Amino acid sequence: MTTTAPAVLDPVGPVPATRRPRGGGGGLLRFIIVRFLLIFPTIFILVTMVFVLMRSIGDPITAALGGRLTADQLAERIHDAGYDRPIFVQYFEYIGQVFTGNFGTAISDGRPVTELLLTYGGATLELAFYALIVAFIVGIPLGMLAAYLRDKWPDAILRVFAILCYATPVFFAGLLLKLVFSVWLKVLPVAGRASTRTELNMSKLGDRRTGIYLIDAIQLGSPAAIGDVLQHAVLPGLALGLLTAGVFLRLVRTNVIGTLSMDYVDAARSRGVSEFRLVRKHAYKPALVPIITVIGLQIAMLLGGAVLTETTFEWKGLGFKLAEYLTARDFVAVQGIVALLAVIVALSNFIVDVIAALIDPRVRY
């Protein structure tokens, strides 16, 4: 007589729909939509803060033209500009203008702020690009070296170097670099974005000019022009890039050390893998993921530091113009440029967050 073994029941049973793993695509799409929608309240809050701070100084007409016009002329200009209306009326009108792309018109020279972006924005973007290259080249390798030599005297020196990079004012670092490399050694230009000859040659490009000198020099096809542009970019890029390099150095060091304590790294170490190979092969890539997120935060720092860097090196970008308008007490232009930079920072953070979510799926949830 044969017996049939009892059926083995699945103690778990079918996986309910709520317990099934969700696909990454839906999570990514939801993350992108939520982050995109958050751009609008972020811009709204930043623009509101800028408006309140600027209006706390007084009306822009009196600030810019007070002392140069009579009382009757000032009153007429204030009325024509609408600054004698209730502050809430001015605020909602300005918010409406910002969300339609109108950031105001400068009082001192009558130029729209959006035109300033097209004219000088390329210079600031180029400077930020050079600064990020310096930050990557300096911060990431030194951070890996500090993690490899952790708890030894070179590690302490590198950590002090990172603190100095972060804490040193940008304008002071720029002045030191100019003193050493331009005045003493005479190997690099002291100021400007290019020599007069290179700028004259780039003016021949006409409508093909982008405002980004490196791209314009490449369009010329002249190695001399490309070298001239890069020589002028070394000191401003170093001054601004070292500020971010200090942040990258500390961040890479901390993340590499944390990765080296993981179980899979201990397993590789037990198989006789050298410490240098562990840092270079196993701990390097995971340590770079947080840097993508931090870049979004550093963009605001780079744009803020660009004001001092561009002024120190006469690098004619948005920061340089912002300093000019501050000197002229043209608070309409200052308000417009700062609000425009706030929009750029918000959009840049959105792009960086999406890139981070693509690289690391954990960011989506």
pLDDT tens digit string along 162-193? 999 989 999 999 999 999 999 999 999 999 99
For residue 344, what pLDDT is reported?
Answer: 84
**Contact in structure between 245 and 135 (CB atoms under 8 Å):** yes
From the list 170, 172, 158, the residue with the least C-alpha distance to 246 is 158
Q: Name the CA radius of gyration of the chain, rounded.
A: 27
Provide the Cα torsion 195, 198, 202, 203; round to 10°.
70
From the list 52, 60, 47, the residue with the least C-alpha distance to 107 is 60
For residue 17, what pLDDT is reported?
Answer: 43
Q: Where do the domains of the chain lie?
A: 122-312
Q: Give residue 300's identity as a one-letter amino acid code.
A: A
Q: Please state the separation of Cα 60 from the chain's center in Å.
A: 29
CB contact set of 28 (below 8 Å; sequence gap of 6+): 357, 358, 361, 364
Domain at 122-312, CATH homologous superfamily: MetI-like (1.10.3720.10)
**Contact in structure between 116 and 316 (CB atoms under 8 Å):** no
Low-confidence ranges of the chain (pLDDT < 50): 1-23
Query: Which residue bears the tokens 């020196």?
Result: 157
Angle value at C-alpha 171, between 315 and 311, nearest 5 degrees: 25
For residue 10, what pLDDT is reported?
Answer: 42
Query: Which residue bears the tokens 């003193």?
Result: 179
From the list 332, 335, 306, the residue with the least C-alpha distance to 318 is 306
**Contact in structure between 318 and 306 (CB atoms under 8 Å):** yes
For residue 16, what pLDDT is reported?
Answer: 45
For residue 6, what pLDDT is reported?
Answer: 47
Q: Give residue 220's identity as a one-letter amino acid code.
A: L
